[in-house]
Amino acid sequence: MTIVVMPIVSDGHADLCTSIQAMLIDSLDAKLYEAPEQLAAASHLLVTGLGQWGNERAREALRVAGKHGVRRSLWQLETLPPFNVPDSIASRVLLRKTPDRVTRMARMTDKFALKRLSFELQRQEWLHGNDFEARRLGLPYREARRIRALWRDKLLDQVLVSLESRQRFLRSIGVKTTFVPLGYHPLWGRPLENEERELDAIFIGTPTPARAPQIGRLSEQLLNAGFRLTVVDRGCYGEQRTKLLNNTKILIHLRNYPWELTRMRMLMGMGCKALVVTEQFWDIKPFEPSTHFAMASTDNLAETIIFYLRNENERRAITERAFEFLSGELNLGKMLAAHLDAPADLGS
């Protein structure tokens, strides 16, 4: 295979985009796209659904690749809408195809539709108790519009998704997909030679309105048990993050969107042999709770964290199994290469 990878254009997460681009080039022995002329000698063009990926340069590359018979794949990493979203007028409005939402009327229509859809979602039992802002549906629907438009225009031969929930959503709007778990590469994080992990528990990320109260409760509960929760809400990337996680016993992973549990931070923690403890959720493939990570209901999260802080042998047993799984079966390059070269009709 001769694989060409589209550059990942950052939308504010430059370090993450740069790291994932480097992972793909290294693990797939790929070339970075520079000009359409490259595609004449390529067998595959891989577009990563992250950042500002849906630009005209990407569409041009996909069109040229199609003319050369190059297989065109999208590896979707950005959040998509919930798969059980109501099939309402609001959701259909948000999926309509308009030229980049440039007109004032289009933006006003979107704003109204987002508020209406948020209201419809809040009435569903699974979202009760979540402090969810309507505007946060904007990015998932932007992604969904991009993908459906490219699929309908026959500019994609294959769409790869790393979460079952995303696969279900795309299936519901007529896009055929293949499930490929987010794979491991040492750039996610790797074990260092640390004598002792000094930090009890850590949360890396933005304390959103939904997360902040939960983080506050966890911090208080851990403090009452004699442990400390460290919150890192900015500027922690690459080697700095790897060193931090190698000095951490437990990485707490909280959902950013109520309908999906992303895998990136799980790979970061497991790669550094920190125990990942996360909220209870149904979509956890390919990992298994109590085997590769710990999972608990919101009410029991602090109790679970405290248990593993007090029981080092149990904690280390899980982190060793998790790292063995990551570095073996979950190798990023092997998994992506196998699915990029698979027959085109295997998606669902």
List per-block mean pLDDT (blocks of 10 residues) for the chain, which spans 348 residues: 94 88 97 97 97 92 98 96 87 78 76 86 69 79 94 97 95 95 96 91 89 94 98 90 97 92 96 97 94 96 98 98 96 95 65
Q: Any residues with CB less than 8 A from the CB of 88 and at least 6 apart, and which?
A: 116, 117, 120
What is the DSSP secondary structure assignment for residue 250, as one 8-state letter?
A: E
CATH of 1-183+331-348, one of 3.30.70, 3.30.1490, 2.60.40, 3.40.50: 3.40.50
∠ CA 329-334-335, rounded to 5°: 75
Query: Tell me, what's the pLDDT at 86?
Result: 79
Query: Tell me, what's the pLDDT at 101?
Result: 56
Instruction: For residue 225, give the 3-state DSSP assignment.
Output: coil
Instruction: For residue 184, give the 3-state DSSP assignment.
Output: strand
What region, left, alpha or beta, does residue 205 occupy, with left being phi > 0 and alpha being psi -120 to 50 degrees? Answer: left
Query: Tell me, what's the pLDDT at 251?
Result: 99
Distance CA 64, CA 224 (A): 61
Query: Tell me, what's the pLDDT at 317?
Result: 99
**For the whole model, what pTM was predicted?**
0.91
Query: Tell me, what's the pLDDT at 98?
Result: 63
Q: Where are the beta strands (DSSP E) in the chain?
A: 3-5, 31-32, 44-49, 71-76, 158-161, 178-179, 199-204, 229-232, 248-253, 275-279, 294-296
∠ CA 331-335-337, rounded to 5°: 120
The CATH superfamily label for domain 186-327 reads Glycogen Phosphorylase B; (3.40.50.2000)
Burial, 108: exposed, middle or buried (Cβ in 10 Å; 0-12, 13-18, 19+)? exposed
Distance CA 178, CA 75 (A): 10
Residue with tokens 């073996």: 328
**CA 232 to chain CA mean position, Å:** 19
Ordered by start, the domain boundaries in the chain are 1-183+331-348, 186-327
Q: Go through the chain and tell me how many residues it has.
A: 348
Bridge partners, residue 267, by sequence: none
Two domains, one topology: 1-183+331-348 and 186-327 = yes
